[in-house]
Amino acid sequence: MLEVATTLFVEQGYAATSLEKIARVIGCSKATLYRRYSSKEDLFKAVVAERGRLLLDEAGAVEASSKDPLVATREIALFFLDFMLRPETREAYRIIIGDGHRIPFIADEMMETIVEPFVATISRLLAAAAESGRIESADHEETTRVLMSLVIGWPLQNTMLGQNQVQDAVARQRFFDRAWNIFLSGICREHHA
């Protein structure tokens, strides 16, 4: 259900996608769909939650498997860039921005269940790097937000405007490497000597 709903929301937008249409494509009755999701808002909320679960699972796995907090931060940040540029993630994000006024609880829920836990993961890694003396960061949450802005700000804007200058993996990696190096030059201890 979520896969079909995600596809229809991405292809047709939130407003043009009805539960009736989703049920028809799935091949089930509208009543069956309503038993699982009480409204289109609830279904879209589940779509967003599934996207968030994928992001948080990857971030948690990288955090748990890495002994170097800066390496883990870099891996998660690169995954985040790739994840945000995926069509289904990008379009869900576009819907949240474009239709957020119709479904305001979605943005609040996304912040609470996805953004805040994701920021907390990166913040823990940056705190570990700061505690080991490798970086200077007093406010790890703010440092995380700076990193995420550097990594996805322009690529997401560029892609959402249809320019697609970072859709090529080589171009995206080149951009990411530059953003990561700029980030490190601002927080690494050896750059502040």
Ramachandran quadrant class, 136 (left: phi over 0; alpha: psi -120 to 50; beta: rest): beta
Runs of H (alpha helix) within the chain: 2-12, 19-26, 30-36, 40-65, 69-85, 87-99, 104-110, 116-131, 140-160, 169-187
Task: Say what the pLDDT of residue 193 is.
Answer: 33
Name the residue with tokens 């050896």: 190
**What domains does the chain contain, in order, with CATH numbers?**
49-192 (1.10.357.10)
Which amino acid does the sequence have at 70?
A: L
- Per-residue pLDDT of the chain in tens (193 residues, 90 and over written 9): 899 999 999 888 888 999 999 999 999 999 999 999 999 989 998 998 998 999 999 999 999 999 999 999 999 999 999 999 998 888 888 888 887 787 778 888 888 999 999 999 999 999 999 999 999 999 999 999 999 999 999 999 999 898 989 989 999 999 999 999 999 999 997 644 3
Residues 6+ apart with CB under 8 A from 58: 76, 79, 83
Task: Say what the pLDDT of residue 190 is.
Answer: 64
Task: Say what the pLDDT of residue 192 is.
Answer: 40
Tell me the pTM: 0.87
Which amino acid does the sequence have at 7?
A: T
Cα(137)–Cα(187) distance, integer angstroms: 7
Give the pair of three-digit tokens for residue 145. 């937000």
* Residue 179 and residue 150 in contact, taking contact as beta carbons nearer than 8 Å: yes
Burial class (CB within 10 angstroms; exposed 0-12, middle 13-18, buried 19+) of 126: buried
Cα(164)–Cα(18) distance, integer angstroms: 29
Residues 6+ apart with CB under 8 A from 175: 154, 155, 166
Q: How many CB atoms lie within 10 A of CB 137?
A: 19
Cα(129)–Cα(74) distance, integer angstroms: 12
